[in-house]
Amino acid sequence: MSPSTRRPKNWLLAVAVSAALLGAAALVRIGPALALALALAVPGAEVWLTPLSPGVVVEEISLEADGRRLVADLYRPDAPRAGLLLVHGLSPAGRRHPELVRLARLLARQHQLVLVPHFDGLAAFQLSGREVADVRAALGALAQRTAAVGVVGLSFGAGPALLAAADVPQLRLAASFGGYADLRDVIRYLTTGAYEFGGRRYTRAPEEYNRWKLLALLVDFVRDARDRRLLQTLALRKLADPGADTRALEADLGRDGLAVRALVMNRREEVFGALLAALPVDARVAMDQLSPLAALPRIRGRLLIAHGSGDVSIPFTESLRLAEAGRANAVILETFEHTRAQAFWPTLGGRLRDGGRLLRLSDALVARLP
């Protein structure tokens, strides 16, 4: 949730006004949340807050998950009160993405022991299902270091995070920022630009580059080894150069590979259902297994859901759907895109409203976790 460097004074005003409305007594209680909200809203604000924050030591550790080795960064404050696991999204940088590193440091400065594993699949723009077991293993490792534990999933990492959270009854907090409820709805959005919730339908022009991210995401859902290899090569070439000529690769695809390609390249909402149904059975089963919507009622800890209304990767309606299933409230940030603030925003009123929302989110995230 690292915001843009544009318009910092207005963000500061937004958070400050929201804090003032809470009153002096409330400010004493939400001091840590206020510090976090200011730092998230105003890049560089942590410089002012550092003298009031604990020191943070970062060390690289190794975790075991179903016989696999997970490398992770552990952010240790002087006196941790609780532990938070951060699950990154689709990013080649993985645990070392600059915005994720900044978020981990900010949380650690608020007395959170923060664990950030590197998920190889997510770093390669893929979801295989192994991520759920990896998140469970990481939560177990964190629970050995501190009693109160929560998990925060970002973007496509929120799906595995919520699925794992449903299997850990002692979890105190499960949070999704810019996450998804049902992969099929996300695929419809990324390919056709259509999305809906509660009887309201929305459309926006799809971002063409996201098609190749989607193709990479679907590779592991294809059982045929040859098609899987060809699709992965195709996705990598297009991600590196969207204008690359891949016709020779596409001509070699078999039935399953062609079905996936047809879905990814489709732009017509009226044929989306038929193209989805034409996918291999294994692919459709994998989508169901990696969609956390049905798992929400099993989450025992507090559920925290937030989304940017201008998200071009995952529609904000996915968070509304998650909140409905989990009987929670979804915080929709009108000046945010995916997991960061928009460079340009329509009104000061929107920034002020988001300032209050960001303050409440920060309070829910750190002030009352133990």
**How confident is the model at residue 128, as a pLDDT?**
86
Asked if residue 196 is part of any domain, the answer here is: no
Task: Please report, rounded to a whole number, the percentage of residues in the chain having pLDDT higher than 90.
Answer: 63
Token digits of residue 267: 């732009």
Looking at per-residue pLDDT, the higher value among 102 and 324 belongs to 324
Instruction: Region of 253 please: left (phi>0), alpha (psi -120 to 50) or beta.
Output: beta
Q: Mean pLDDT lowest for which of 7-16, 133-142, 361-370?
A: 7-16
Same domain, 213 and 272: yes
Same domain, 172 and 81: yes
Same domain, 67 and 152: yes
Q: What mean pLDDT is reported for the chain?
A: 85
**How confident is the model at residue 356, as a pLDDT?**
80
Residue 131 has pLDDT above 60, yes or no: yes
Same domain, 81 and 161: yes
Q: Mean pLDDT lowest for which of 30-34, 75-79, 258-262, 358-362?
A: 30-34
Residue 235 has pLDDT above 60, yes or no: yes
Asked if residue 74 is part of any domain, the answer here is: yes
Residue 341 has pLDDT above 80, yes or no: no
Residue 5 has pLDDT above 50, yes or no: no
Same domain, 143 and 240: no
Asked if residue 276 is part of any domain, the answer here is: yes
Instruction: Point out the domain boundary residue: 251, 269, 288.
Output: 288
Asked if residue 3 is part of any domain, the answer here is: no
Same domain, 99 and 116: yes
Token digits of residue 177: 């920022």
CATH number at residue 305: 3.40.50.1820
**Which tens digits make up the pLDDT trace of 28-50?**
456 666 667 766 666 565 555 55
Alpha-helical regions (H) of the chain:
8-22, 24-29, 31-41, 45-49, 98-108, 120-123, 130-143, 158-165, 183-192, 209-218, 225-240, 247-251, 255-265, 272-277, 281-289, 317-326, 348-362
Same domain, 222 and 297: no
Asked if residue 98 is part of any domain, the answer here is: yes
Instruction: Point out the domain boundary residue: 288, 322, 340.
Output: 288
For residue 297, count CB atoms less than 10 angstroms from its CB and return exposed for 0-12, middle for 13-18, buried for 19 or more: exposed
Q: Mean pLDDT lowest for which of 11-20, 29-38, 222-231, 342-351?
A: 11-20
Q: With beta carbons less than 8 A apart as the criterion, state whether 259 and 278 touch.
A: yes
Spatial distance between the Cα atoms of 229 and 248, rounded to a whole number of angstroms:
14
Average pLDDT of the residues in 193-219: 94
Same domain, 239 and 175: no
Same domain, 156 and 258: no
Same domain, 313 and 279: no
Q: With beta carbons less than 8 A apart as the criterion, state whether 181 and 202 touch.
A: no
Asked if residue 1 is part of any domain, the answer here is: no
Spatial distance between the Cα atoms of 238 and 213, rounded to a whole number of angstroms:
9
Spatial distance between the Cα atoms of 255 and 281, rounded to a whole number of angstroms:
12
**How confident is the model at residue 139, as a pLDDT?**
96
**What domain range is 26 assigned to?**
8-182+293-367
Closest CA to 340 of 304, 313, 364, 318: 313
Asked if residue 187 is part of any domain, the answer here is: no
Instruction: Point out the domain boundary residue: 258, 288, 318.
Output: 288
Counting the structural domains of the chain, the total is 2
For residue 138, count CB atoms less than 10 angstroms from its CB and return exposed for 0-12, middle for 13-18, buried for 19 or more: buried
Same domain, 95 and 221: no
pTM of the shown model: 0.86
Same domain, 282 and 306: no
Closest CA to 304 of 126, 144, 153: 153
Asked if residue 319 is part of any domain, the answer here is: yes
